[in-house]
Amino acid sequence: MDLRTRQRIDDFLKAKGLRKTVQRDAIVQAAFGTTEHYTAEDLLVMARKIERSVSRATVYRTLPILVECGVLREMDFGRDFKYYDPNFVDHPHHNHLICVDCDRIVEFEDLGINTMEDCITKRLGFSPRSKMVRIEATCDELHRLGTCRNRAKG
Amino acid sequence: MDLRTRQRIDDFLKAKGLRKTVQRDAIVQAAFGTTEHYTAEDLLVMARKIERSVSRATVYRTLPILVECGVLREMDFGRDFKYYDPNFVDHPHHNHLICVDCDRIVEFEDLGINTMEDCITKRLGFSPRSKMVRIEATCDELHRLGTCRNRAKG
DNA sequence: CTGTTTTTTAGAATGCTTCTAAATTAGGAT
DNA sequence: ATCCTAATTTAGAAGCATTCTAAAAAACAG
């Protein structure tokens, strides 16, 4: 895991007067030991491989800390649970395409859309905080060729 | 309520072999008797003013029918309940800006973003189904002037 | 070490949404 | 009109991600 991410988290905890614990450490290691998107439940499983004592409640209490710290992005794809994205620091502007055929989530970056969003936000009299584009789509060629991996994990 | 919307719903019900009931009728009347966004619970309250017997379960079962019919849009703003938007037919391309200061939801249309989204989707090898832009922002001038209506209903 | 405060844990609670089983109703057939 | 059968409705239970709670454990300053 990136040393700058680690440093940023340590600084954040110190600034907020939050303590370092083995559980938080395990959750952080797990959270940034992958580049995949994951759910709170996924993260619980991953963190428990590092430190058996980690509980569900602690995962749910740690996630918003990492989000507020700015190292993790929370994403709502319209399902009844949230996904978290650890690639936020390296790619802060990416957006998501969600395939309704196979549940795959494809990331993309597009500077043009970002600029447009900023313009629109200003025009409406607001200051942008966070922006997301969410495109639902179907598999196209992939689907026709029969290579669409149905129900793939997001 | 728009006659074409009514017609479209009637046709859809017939095509699907679904029956007309007083409850469904009340829900439809309520759903398109406003231009505001609403939740399932809001709709229940509105529909019950028209027909007292409408139950929560029927509202929840009717909503996806209207969404599938294409007259109502389901929207997920990252809260733990969904909003529904009855202005879909007249303004199929609008997007949303959510103010994190006051919870207000501002609609906007932007053809440029829509075109971009279609291009990106094709480039990635998909066919667009539905697209949404969601911008979280803060109140800017309004906020400075003290006119930001905190916690206003979406 | 000691004391105080934060953090953790397991399980209960919450709140939106979906499901269930029994009662009712719609609408075609007689 | 009336009957029949399948769709629909209702109230309440169940489901599920997330949050809360109270007691136990751990962090850290002095």
Nucleotide nearest to B27 (CA to C1'): D9
pTM (two decimals):
0.80
Q: With bands split at pLDDT 50, 70 and 90, how would you rate the model's confidence at B30?
A: very high
CB–CB of B134 and A136 under 8 A? no
Give nucleotides in strand C with any atom < 7 A to a protein C-beta: 6-11, 15-20, 25-27
Residues of A in contact with B140 (CB under 8 A): 125-127
Task: Work out the minimum CA distance from B54 to partner chain A, whole angstroms.
Answer: 26
CA→C1' distance for B80 and D12 (Å)? 22
More confident residue, B150 or B128: B128
* Through-space distance between the first and last CA atoms of chain B, rounded to whole angstroms: 22
Residue A154 has pLDDT above 60, yes or no: no
What is the reported pLDDT for A145? 56
Task: In whole angstroms, give the CA distance from residue A16 to residue A69.
Answer: 10
Share of chain A above pLDDT 70, in %: 86
Query: Tokens representing A77?
Result: 């794809």
What is the reported pLDDT for B152? 40
Averaged confidence pLDDT in chain A = 86
Task: In whole angstroms, give the CA distance from residue A150 to residue B85.
Answer: 30
What is the reported pLDDT for B97? 84
Q: For the residues B2-13, what does the mean pLDDT come to?
A: 93
**Binding-site residues on chain A for chain B (CB distance < 8 A):** 76, 78, 97, 99-100, 106, 108, 110, 112-113, 116-117, 120-121, 124-142
Which of B77, B98, B123, B135 is best to mutate for the A interface (most A CBs within 10 A)? Answer: B135
pLDDT tens-digit readout, B108-149: 888 888 899 899 888 988 888 778 888 888 876 655 555 554
3-state helix, strand, coil in chain A (%, to 5): 45, 20, 40
pLDDT tens-digit readout, B50-100: 999 999 999 999 999 999 999 999 988 878 899 999 987 766 666 888 877
Q: For the residues A100-108, what does the mean pLDDT come to?
A: 77
DSSP type of residue A125: T
Residue A149 has pLDDT above 90, yes or no: no
Alpha helices in chain B (DSSP H): 3-16, 22-31, 40-50, 56-69, 111-123, 140-144
Helix axes B22-31, B40-50, angle to 10 degrees: 120
CB–CB of A128 and B135 under 8 A? yes
